[in-house]
Amino acid sequence: MVVVFLDLLTDYEISSDSYKIVETEFFKTIHGKLVEDKEQDYDIGGNASEDGADADEGVEKFVKTYANCCGPEGTPHETNMIITTKKQLKTEIMAYVKRLMASEKFPEDKKKEFKELAMRKLTEEEIEEQAAKGDKNCKTALNKAIFDEFLANFSSETFVIVRAAEDVGIEGMIMGCRYTSEAYQVGDPVTLTIWKHGVREEAY
- pLDDT tens, position by position, 150-185: 999 888 888 888 888 877 667 889 999 998 877 778
Give the range among 37-41, 109-113, 192-196 with minimum mean pLDDT. 37-41
> Structure pTM?
0.85
| Domain count across the chain | 1
**CATH classification of the domain holding 192:** 2.170.150.10
Domain extent for 163: 3-41+60-203
Helices 124-133 and 141-149: angle between axes, nearest 10 degrees: 30
Asked, for residue 192, whether it belongs to a domain, the answer is yes
- In one-letter notation, the amino acid at residue 73 is E
Q: What angle do CA 22, 164, 23 make, to 5 degrees?
A: 10
- pLDDT tens, position by position, 124-141: 999 999 999 999 999 999
Asked, for residue 137, whether it belongs to a domain, the answer is yes
Q: How far apart are the first and last CA of the chain?
A: 5
User: Measured between alpha carbons, how far is 134 from 86 in angstroms, rounded to an integer?
Assistant: 12
The pLDDT score that the predictor gives to residue 139 is 94
Asked, for residue 158, whether it belongs to a domain, the answer is yes
Asked, for residue 48, whether it belongs to a domain, the answer is no
Band (pLDDT 50/70/90 cuts) for residue 70 is: confident
